[in-house]
């Protein structure tokens, strides 16, 4: 036999393994010209031609039969190509047989029954729901199919299909693919066949009834016989009747079935329930493990992890209606409620750092705690500071002040820490270091004021910063910002602004009353004395100790002012400072008067050449000493205000005047006063020396400020004037004189000279030298920035520098 086409070649099968009756798709080359051309198909040695469905010359669909071999090739045989070959194989899986009473973890699908009693030469597959030749044309007499490839047809009919069961079926595609060689007469026969099939389909159930009319008659006779038998037995349940016997049979059958399958079905139901429960536990293990994880993370202090897990659980199960989820989520809410209480207790616990307070407030806000935790913390801190201040006074009165000194005297005080910046602004601190014997030699009132100031400065700044954070909403995380808690916090802060103002006033008032009770008891009412007094047994302080207390209170005031607390809230401290200064002067004068009263005891009754005794000279010396001491006290008390006010001057001319005054005070007033003290052997020269140092520091700051305000504009105008008019050093004209920007700079320097000369001639060399240096340095910097010079530019550079220095030196 001669063959016109190459033998079939199978190059692929999908799937590559499976049990019997698995539907597979075979792909390859030369798999036949049509269903009639396919005469043989075997997989693993089993003939599968009965279930084969020819799709195209490269595709065949069939079902694998129950072959004897577990693995084998796929062999295709066609009329046109004879016996084919295969490059792939199929693995047949042997399913385990499961009885009706055997336990199984899976449900076994029922196998479809395939009737093997069919004609092997029939070309159509009994499993196919679609005919392979709907036109009814004999494909053997048509000839070969179209030579167009699949890709070419898809390009011609984009989005269409040649499959007549597809929604995008294209008749033209189908005719080109299957009937490209059919004649017009054959296509007319196919149209007639289609019309006949449509006519048969429209006859519907009527044709089916006509074909099986005898069957319907037999069913009618059987139903009539049953009806007559039931009427003869009656409608009631009579023992021995057919209906009664039928009911008994059905009940016994039901009981027997229950007996056989009850245990099996019960185990199956139990297994299903267990499997479903395990699946639920595995799928929602996050929720079921969450209560235990919350407890563990709380014990470790990982509050951020707890909050993130809670937010996730709330978004997933907050509104669930599943009973088991609601129960577990209820346990989560119980633990979160306990966590809120724990965090609130930690927040209100004292003492605590500002960092911890902000952290606990953020946690509570993320957990949506009721109320306003930030305000509760502010109220608790306010009460605690008041109690701490009162406790400080009570412990000093009772003599148990050691309880306040947990870290000993070596610990730097809060005044020393927070008042350092303020003291530097004043030109240096006037507070002397504490010696090792400071506690034993210092009166109790002085120690109390110092410790009370440390308490206030140690707590009030954090208290104020907590309020500022509460006002601007920086206490909350990004979650709080998204939920609108920041705006809510700002709104609450505006409503409680007056309440916080009263808190600050109460704290400063408590400080003032405690100091007044220790030093100025006469300024308190009778009720105030009972709360803040109790210092009657202590000795009266001298002017020197009162001066030290004034410095301590002054440092406390400056430290609080540095926090930008409004001045009206600190007015009480300013009034206290004024009363302490007045009291210091009064005490100093009273002590001097007592010394003068006791001068009579020093009379020696010896007359000198002028006819007077030594009592007169001693009296004059005491008077001068008293006046000098009062002057020194006034200077030391008010020099802070003078220096601070000098630093606030804005106008340059006033800066210059204050600078001149400082120079005169240093050279004439303070130095002459020190000479007078040394000449008469008076004490206190070291205090005047500290005042001189403060004045010198103020002189330096004022000089730098004046130079900056005068030299910077002159130096800043050089570069714009130098490059005005697109000036270029590499392409400039021959210099004929000084350029305008230099003339402008010289005129400005002359104006500064005139301004300084009108105030103080002694300041002219000092000021002009510094300004000329600044201008010269700027000119040098500008020249260094030039990459290259032309010949004319090189001539202009030294000419410019020489002219500038010559004019500056001449002036």
SS3 assignment, position 360: helix
- State residue 200's pLDDT score: 66
Residues 582 and 576: their CA atoms lie apart, in Å, by 10
Q: Kindly list the distances between the CA atom of residue 746 and the CA atoms of 750, 775, 800, 805, in Å, as whole numbers in the listed order.
A: 6, 10, 12, 10
Question: Is the Cα dihedral 733, 737, 740, 741 positive or negative?
Answer: positive
Residues 193 and 185: their CA atoms lie apart, in Å, by 13
Q: Which ranges constitute the DSSP H helices of 73-180? A: 150-156, 171-178
Residues 77 and 120: their CA atoms lie apart, in Å, by 14
Residues 257 and 263: their CA atoms lie apart, in Å, by 11
Q: Kindly list the distances between the CA atom of residue 804 and the CA atoms of 365, 650, 710, 784, in Å, as whole numbers in the listed order.
A: 67, 30, 17, 17
Helices (H) and strands (E) in the chain, counts: 28, 11
Question: Is the Cα dihedral 28, 31, 34, 38 positive or negative?
Answer: negative
Beta-carbon contacts of residue 109 (< 8 Å; ≥ 6 apart):
none
Q: Mean pLDDT for the chain?
A: 76
The three state secondary structure string of 301-356 is CCHHHHHHHHHHHHHHHCCCCCHHHHHHHHHHHHHHHHHHHHHHHHHHCCCCCHHH
- The CB density around residue 239, as the number of other CB atoms within 10 Å, is 6
Beta-carbon contacts of residue 787 (< 8 Å; ≥ 6 apart):
none
- State residue 520's pLDDT score: 85
pLDDT digits (tens, 9 = 90+) for 178-228: 787 888 888 888 888 888 777 766 655 565 566 566 777 778 888 888 777
Residue 407 has pLDDT above 60, yes or no: no
Residues 74 and 56 sit within 8 Å (Cβ to Cβ): no
- State residue 419's pLDDT score: 40
Region 240-260: mean pLDDT is 79
Report the range out of 206-210, 329-333, 594-598 with the highest average pLDDT: 329-333
Residue 392 has pLDDT above 50, yes or no: yes
Backbone angles phi, psi at 195, to 5 degrees: -65, -40
pLDDT digits (tens, 9 = 90+) for 744-789: 888 888 888 888 888 778 888 888 898 898 888 888 888 888 878 8
User: Helix 671-679 crosses helix 685-716 at what angle (to 10 degrees)?
Assistant: 170
Per-residue pLDDT band for 413 (boundaries 50, 70, 90) equals very low
Residues 3 and 179: their CA atoms lie apart, in Å, by 22
Per-residue pLDDT band for 78 (boundaries 50, 70, 90) equals very high
pLDDT digits (tens, 9 = 90+) for 27-69: 999 999 888 899 999 999 888 988 899 999 999 999 998 877 7
pLDDT digits (tens, 9 = 90+) for 420-444: 444 333 333 334 456 556 566 778 8
- State residue 649's pLDDT score: 39
Instruction: Record the tokens describing residue 6, joined without a space.
Output: 């190459």
- State residue 89's pLDDT score: 92
For residue 146, the Cα-to-chain-centroid distance in whole angstroms is 68
- State residue 11's pLDDT score: 93
Per-residue pLDDT band for 797 (boundaries 50, 70, 90) equals low
pLDDT digits (tens, 9 = 90+) for 627-671: 655 555 555 545 445 444 444 434 667 777 777 777 776 776 677
Closest CA to 463 of 511, 503, 495, 423: 503
pLDDT digits (tens, 9 = 90+) for 11-20: 999 999 988 8
Residues 577 and 583: their CA atoms lie apart, in Å, by 10
Residue 607 has pLDDT above 60, yes or no: no
Closest CA to 337 of 306, 367, 309: 367
Closest CA to 127 of 77, 58, 59, 53: 53
- State residue 205's pLDDT score: 55
- State residue 806's pLDDT score: 45
pLDDT digits (tens, 9 = 90+) for 678-714: 776 666 677 777 777 887 888 888 888 888 888 888 8
Residues 771 and 708 sit within 8 Å (Cβ to Cβ): no
């Amino acid at each position: 036999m001669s063959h016109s086409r190459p033998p079939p070649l199978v190059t692929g099968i999908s799937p590559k393994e499976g049990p019997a009756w698995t539907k597979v798709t075979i792909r390859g080359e030369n798999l036949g010209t049509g269903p009639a051309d396919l005469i043989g198909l075997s997989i693993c040695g089993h003939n599968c031609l009965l279930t084969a469905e020819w799709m195209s010359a490269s595709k065949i669909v069939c079902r694998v039969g129950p072959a004897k071999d577990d693995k084998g090739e796929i062999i295709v045989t066609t009329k046109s190509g004879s016996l084919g070959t295969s490059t792939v194989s199929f693995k047949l899986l042997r399913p385990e047989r499961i009885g009706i009473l055997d336990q199984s973890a899976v449900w076994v699908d029922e196998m479809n029954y395939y009737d093997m009693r069919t004609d092997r030469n029939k070309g159509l597959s009994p499993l196919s729901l679609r005919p392979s030749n709907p036109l009814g044309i004999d494909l053997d007499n048509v000839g070969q199919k179209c030579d167009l490839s699949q890709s070419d047809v898809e390009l011609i009919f984009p989005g269409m299909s040649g499959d007549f069961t597809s929604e995008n079926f294209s008749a033209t595609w189908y005719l080109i693919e299957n009937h490209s060689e059919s004649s017009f007469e054959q296509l007319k026969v196919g149209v007639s066949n289609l019309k006949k099939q449509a006519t048969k389909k429209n006859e519907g159930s009527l044709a089916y009834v006509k074909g099986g009319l005898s069957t319907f008659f037999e069913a009618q006779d059987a139903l009539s016989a049953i009806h007559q038998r039931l009427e003869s037995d009656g409608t009631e349940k009579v023992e021995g009747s057919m209906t009664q016997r039928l009911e008994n049979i059905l009940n016994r059958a039901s009981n027997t079935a229950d007996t056989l399958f009850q245990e099996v079905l019960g185990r199956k139901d139990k297994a299903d329930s267990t499997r479903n429960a395990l699946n639920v536990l595995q799928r929602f293990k996050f929720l079921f493990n969450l209560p235990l994880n919350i407890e563990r993370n709380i014990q470790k202090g990982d509050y951020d992890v707890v909050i993130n897990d809670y937010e996730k659980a709330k978004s997933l199960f907050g509104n669930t209606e599943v009973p088991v989820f609601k129960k577990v989520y209820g346990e989560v809410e119980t633990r979160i409620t306990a966590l809120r209480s724990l965090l609130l207790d930690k927040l209100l616990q004292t003492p605590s750092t500002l960092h911890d307070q902000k952290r606990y407030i953020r946690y509570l806000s993320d957990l949506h705690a009721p109320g306003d935790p930030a305000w509760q913390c502010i109220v608790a801190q306010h009460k605690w500071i008041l109690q701490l201040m009162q406790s400080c006074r009570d412990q000093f009165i009772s003599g148990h002040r050691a309880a306040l000194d947990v870290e000993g005297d070596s610990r730097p005080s809060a005044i020393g820490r927070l008042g350092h910046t303020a003291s530097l602004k004043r030109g240096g601190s006037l507070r002397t270091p504490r010696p090792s014997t400071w506690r034993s030699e210092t009166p109790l009132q002085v120690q109390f004021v110092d410790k009370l100031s440390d308490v206030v400065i140690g707590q009030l700044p954090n208290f104020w910063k907590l309020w500022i954070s509460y006002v601007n909403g920086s206490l909350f995380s990004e979650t709080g910002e998204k939920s609108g808690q920041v705006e809510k916090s700002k709104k609450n802060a505006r409503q409680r602004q007056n309440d916080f103002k009263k808190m600050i006033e109460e704290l400063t008032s408590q400080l003032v009353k405690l100091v007044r009770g220790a030093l100025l008891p006469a300024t308190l009412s009778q009720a105030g004395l009972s709360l803040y007094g109790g210092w009657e047994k202590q000795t009266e302080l001298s002017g020197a100790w009162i001066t030290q207390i004034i410095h301590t209170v002054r440092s406390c005031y400056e430290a609080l002012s540095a926090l930008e607390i409004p001045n009206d809230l600190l007015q009480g401290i300013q009034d206290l400072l004024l009363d302490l200064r007045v009291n210091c002067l009064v005490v100093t004068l009273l002590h001097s008067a007592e010394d003068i009263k006791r001068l009579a005891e020093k009379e020696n009754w010896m007359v000198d050449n002028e006819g007077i005794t030594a009592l007169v000279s001693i009296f004059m010396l005491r008077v001068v000493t008293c006046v000098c001491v009062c002057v020194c006290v006034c200077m030391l008390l008010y020099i802070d205000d003078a220096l601070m006010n000098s630093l606030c001057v804005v106008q340059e001319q006033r800066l210059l005047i204050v600078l001149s005054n400082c120079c005169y005070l240093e050279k004439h007033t303070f130095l002459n006063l020190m000479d007078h003290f040394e000449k008469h052997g008076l004490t206190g020269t070291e205090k005047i020396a500290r005042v001189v140092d403060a004045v010198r520091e103020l002189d330096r700051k004022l000089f730098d400020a004046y130079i900056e305000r005068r030299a910077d504009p002159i130096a800043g105008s050089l570069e714009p004037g130098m490059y005005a008019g697109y000036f270029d050093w590499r392409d400039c004209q021959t210099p004929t004189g000084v350029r305008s920007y230099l003339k402008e700079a010289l005129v400005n320097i002359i104006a500064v000279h005139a301004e300084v000369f009108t105030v103080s001639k002694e300041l002219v060399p000092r000021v002009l030298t510094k300004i000329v240096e600044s201008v010269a340095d700027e000119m040098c910097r500008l020249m260094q920035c030039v990459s290259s010079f032309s010949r004319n530019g090189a001539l202009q550079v030294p000419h410019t520098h020489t002219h500038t220095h010559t004019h500056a030196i001449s002036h």
